Copies of this chain bind each other. A is one copy, B any other.
């Protein structure tokens, strides 16, 4: 127990909860509270140090917590309203879980004695929380709230980041508890055994055409540099996961090609490899199954060696492997500065947008990418831009981009955030724009408005059911009516502009890069 300098002897459980979170380094709360959380709201008011950020929908709060964790390198908290409030946040918690982002969810619950009455908002919160949490506990009384909060933070900080969900019955929040809890020592990520390092080095050296696949924290600058040295030392080709928590890339950094999304392209790319060394992730699998196509994306005849999953001390493993291969002094292949030319004029499409972004992306920018079928060109064409961070949709649950950008901008307010967003995916959590306006976050959102769930038109063809008829087309189209993103953004307080030419996009994007604050560019694309 700590001295809890801000707490009186009459401190409520909720106050000890907030004090403990703040003491443990969790000082940001993405929130959408309800009646059962009012004592926690009051505690945020009373106890110094916790910044509340209101979201108008819980999926915004959880997605923002993910973006915050990816950029701050530590967890934020969320404050959610019982089972349904948590449920609204589950899709983005799923993405955060897949990213390995640390989050502490504070979920209000009915008072312990009230549960048996089965009031309208009663539900099985544990059943809802478990699929997206590695830790779910409920505080049976006020005194247990603070120690459980410390435990939750420790779990959220466990490498590479985990989701801890703490259920807070209303009486545990409002009863007197008095003392906050000390933060718990973080658990050290497990080291990879020396024998495994030695074996991996030997296998790499013996392979004719090895690939190294990195994921998790291995896509940060330091990990990629070590992986680049190892690749250079062994002639291996370096890949990353298709969708990553955070890739530090651009000029002066080691580049790792993402495994292509479509399985046949992935297998083609890696065909002929005889060894796949996997570090910080798992061997690649198809995002979806398709009739007659393989689920595993390991090429035939390629042996897989999984050195460690992402929970391990990744950088230590890479460093040990580099040592074993005597690779520390090797200069890895670094991406040269190589910006595309700004398109002078012409039609607007995902390629011209990629060119504009590649040319104009400022150093230190963060790109939150949910561009779906239109985002890939921007990824390709920013390869040689100034150094920046790229955040992917990790769990496939669309509706992540704008919340992720929101949280990233809260975490690092001095850096420009660019959100690449589909018109379809953007609508799931469109409320994020309001939070960007309220907090005056430095986020530029690019909406690829093609009037369709275009990826599904592609997938419809790929699953082999022929051409879509009238009803299927209606289910994959976003026309009738066309979404007007300028009005939607302005309705939530974000300045917006619509462009339909390459020069128009370039001008709008350049203007957005030159000033701070939220704005949205609606790019009309084919």
* B-binding residues in A (CB < 8 A): 31, 33-36, 38-39, 41-42, 44-46, 50, 52, 54, 56-57, 59, 83-85, 87-88, 90-91, 94-95, 98, 110-111, 113-114, 117-121, 123-124, 127-128, 130-132, 170-171, 174, 243, 282, 285-289, 291, 295-296, 394-397, 399, 424, 427-428, 430-431, 434, 437-438, 455-456, 459-460, 463, 465-466, 468-472, 474-478, 480-488, 490-493
Contacts and interface: CB of A to CB of B under 8 A. Distances in A.
Contacts of A174: 291, 463
Contacts of A296: 117
Contact of A88 (B59, B127, B243, B431): B59
A288 B490 contact: no
Given A113-B289, A428-B431, 13 more contacts: A42-B468, A45-B469, A87-B91, A114-B286, A118-B282, A119-B287, A120-B243, A120-B287, A128-B128, A171-B291, A484-B492, A488-B488, A491-B491
Nearest to A34: B456
Contacts of A486: 491
Contacts of A480: 438
A431 B397 CA distance: 17
23 contacts: A31-B475, A35-B456, A36-B288, A39-B463, A41-B460, A41-B468, A41-B472, A42-B463, A44-B471, A52-B475, A54-B475, A54-B477, A57-B399, A87-B397, A94-B123, A114-B286, A117-B296, A120-B394, A124-B130, A170-B289, A171-B289, A487-B487, A487-B491
A114 B295 CA distance: 6
B475 A483 contact: no
Contacts of A475: 31, 33, 41, 44, 52, 54
Given A88-B399, A120-B98, A396-B121, A35 B131 contact: no
Contacts of A476: 41
Nearest to A38: B463
A228 to B, nearest CB: 26
Contact of A52 (B90, B471, B485): B471
Nearest to A42: B465
Contact of A295 (B59, B85, B117, B463): B117
Contact of A45 (B243, B431, B472): B472
B482 A110 contact: no
Contact of A491 (B38, B295, B470, B483): B483
Nearest to A484: B491
Contacts of A474: 52, 54
Contacts of A285: 114, 117-119
A299 to B, nearest CB: 16
Contacts of A491: 483-488, 491
A44 B468 CA distance: 10
Contacts of A427: 56-57, 431, 434
A430 B428 contact: no
A87 B87 contact: yes
Contacts of A455: 35
Contacts of A127: 127-128, 130-131
Contact of A463 (B35, B124, B243): B35
Nearest to A121: B396
Contacts of A487: 487-488, 490-491
A288 B35 contact: yes
A132 B471 CA distance: 29
Contacts of A35: 287-288, 455-456, 459, 463
Contacts of A113: 289, 295
A310 to B, nearest CB: 13
Contacts of A456: 33-35, 38
Given A285-B119, A483-B491, A428 B56 contact: yes
A56 B480 CA distance: 13
B287 A121 contact: yes
Rank and list the top 3 A-B pairs by shortest CB-CB distance, nearest first: A481-B493, A84-B397, A487-B491
A27 to B, nearest CB: 13
A212 B243 CA distance: 59
